[in-house]
């Protein structure tokens, strides 16, 4: 389970925080811990993947965080992140595991010309997915982030979990 928090500074999406829970762990405890982290950034609403159905929205809701399922697939999020990385309009934190996951992502083209970006067989991309989601969301809708963030005297932030 992973968490990424990002905000906008001018035209740069800045990664504020990244967290990862490595099994074994109690998922409900991690949701509580992640909710505590999100609250320090004044984030009250997050977007995450559809993994585990209604369980994440329920668990985060118990901890005062609204959970919305992403409209974008993981591959679509990575496709949105690529031009942001290439144009240097994102600022990442130094994290070796995150860097390895981002660098290992692979683009595959399927019949019919559909592209998909994902981790290699046997690989992991949980950190990359949460961070990409937070950065893409911050970059694509900063005005919405202000409404979701809370007091305007803080930079607007987005939270994403994977």
Extents of the domains making up the chain: 2-161
This prediction has a pTM of: 0.86
Give the architecture (CATH level 2) of 2-161: 2-Layer Sandwich (3.30)
The distance of Cα 109 from the centroid of its chain, to the nearest Å, equals: 24
Given a contact cutoff of 8 angstroms between Cβ atoms, the answer to whether 145 and 156 are in contact is yes
Confidence of residue 146 (pLDDT cuts 50, 70, 90): very low
Residue 6 has pLDDT above 70, yes or no: yes
Residue 61 has pLDDT above 70, yes or no: yes
User: For residues 18 and 14, what is the distance between their CA atoms, to the nearest angstrom?
Assistant: 11
For 34, residues 6+ apart whose C-beta sits below 8 A from its C-beta are 1, 3, 19, 60, 65, 161
């Amino acid at each position: 389970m992973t968490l990424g928090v990002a905000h906008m500074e001018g035209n740069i999406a800045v990664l504020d925080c990244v967290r990862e829970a490595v099994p074994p762990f109690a998922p409900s405890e991690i949701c509580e811990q992640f909710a505590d982290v999100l609250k320090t950034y004044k984030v009250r609403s997050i977007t995450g993947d559809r993994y585990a159905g209604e369980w994440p929205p329920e668990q985060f809701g118990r901890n005062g965080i609204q959970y919305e399922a992403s409209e974008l697939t993981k591959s679509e999020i990575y496709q949105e992140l690529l031009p942001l990385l290439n144009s240097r309009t994102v600022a990442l934190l130094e994290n070796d595991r995150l860097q390895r996951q981002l660098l290992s992502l692979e683009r595959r083209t399927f019949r019919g010309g559909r592209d998909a970006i994902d981790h290699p067989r046997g690989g992991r991309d949980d950190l990359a997915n949460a961070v990409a989601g937070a950065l893409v969301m911050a970059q694509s809708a900063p005005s919405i982030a202000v409404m979701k963030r809370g007091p305007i005297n803080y930079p607007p932030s987005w939270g994403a979990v994977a």
